[in-house]
Amino acid sequence: MLIDMRKIDQLIELWLDEDCNHFDLTARIMVADDAVATFAMNAREDIILSGLPIAERIFKRLDPDCSFEAQYKDGAQIAAGTTFAKITGNAQALLTAERVALNLIQRMSGIAGVTAQYVQEIEGTGAFLVDTRKTTPGLRMLEKYAVTCGGGRNHRLGLDNGIMLKDNHIAVAGSIAAAVARAKAKAPVLTKIEVECDRFEQVQEALEAGADVIMLDNMTNDAMREAVAWVAGRVPLECSGGVRLDTIRQKAETGVDFISVGRITQSAPCVDIGLDEA
């Protein structure tokens, strides 16, 4: 996934302003203006790395001349106790940037790690794990990037990335057929139209209406197998709703093409990463 660094720079300004406000009172009092320090970024548990280039950008926002030496790249599996980056520069600046940089990389690496667990569970089934829009406000781009570091794939990045006809859209339109027809008449020509279905009859209606993708929402495994057999590869099928690590394998084995999981971004814990004097 590509990251828009222009937007990242805008976010960094907001993050630093939130944490620092006027200045870092402790660093300004305790550390000489010209002091130089070297810090190591260490994994305190096994992690899948994500967000390292963003962390570097945070440190360099406060000390453009600092040296940031990364020993690994995003997506790497890092064992507990491993140093994966060293930063040398103005001590005041590095200490001021520390918490923002750590918060970000801990969050992103946590998402990457949980994603990798889900991906491993469905290995060999032919199904792909995809994310959702259940992300932290303001952090969607980075959280979806973290999903790709863990081996997952991205669903819509935002509401303008594709048309998803859910139950309320269908209710307003009057039927699946009417909703799909309206979408096809007005959408840009390369835009895909996905229809959310929770019953087999809706799957039939969505396919006949010309949906590009069909979401099987909160359907039982037996019902999904029936839908997979009937659709027979004519359009991709997505499984969604209540997917957990202990249930995803069975859902993947129904034959669906994609499984969307909100938990990988919504419920992922932050990992333990420290910044220690080198």
Per-residue pLDDT tens digits for 133-154: 999 999 999 999 999 999 999 9
Question: Architecture of domain 121-266 in CATH?
Answer: Alpha-Beta Barrel (3.20)
User: In the predicted model, what is the mean pLDDT of residues 175-196?
Assistant: 96
pLDDT at 262: 97
What whole-number distance in Å separates Cα of residue 136 and Cα of residue 108? 11
User: In the predicted model, what is the mean pLDDT of residues 155-183?
Assistant: 95
Residue 75 backbone phi and psi in degrees, to 5: 95, -10
* CATH code reported for the domain at 5-118+269-277: 3.90.1170.20
**Does residue 276 carry a pLDDT above 80?**
yes
What is the percentage of the chain residues whose pLDDT exceeds 90?
97
CA 195 to chain centroid, in Å, comes to 22
* Tokens (6 digits) for 36: 């130089």
Nearest to 131 by CA among 149, 153, 111: 153
Nearest to 97 by CA among 10, 8, 32, 20: 20
Question: What is the domain partition of the chain in residue ranges?
Answer: 5-118+269-277, 121-266
**CB distance 59 to 66 below 8 Å:** yes
**Does residue 1 carry a pLDDT above 90?**
no
**Does residue 204 carry a pLDDT above 80?**
yes
Instruction: Give me the chain's average pLDDT, please.
Output: 97
Per-residue pLDDT tens digits for 113-138: 999 999 999 999 999 999 999 999 99
**CB distance 33 to 63 below 8 Å:** no
Q: How far is CA 251 from CA 114, 127, 195, 209, 227, in A?
A: 18, 9, 19, 26, 13
- Confidence bin at 239 (pLDDT 50/70/90): very high
What whole-number distance in Å separates Cα of residue 225 and Cα of residue 235? 15
Per-residue pLDDT tens digits for 68-96: 999 999 999 999 999 999 999 999 999 99
Q: Which positions are annotated as active-site residues? A: 99, 134, 166, 196, 217
What whole-number distance in Å separates Cα of residue 96 and Cα of residue 69? 19
- Do the two domains 5-118+269-277 and 121-266 of this chain adopt the same fold? no
Per-residue pLDDT tens digits for 43-58: 999 999 999 999 999 9
pLDDT at 2: 78
What whole-number distance in Å separates Cα of residue 271 and Cα of residue 61? 24
pLDDT at 189: 92
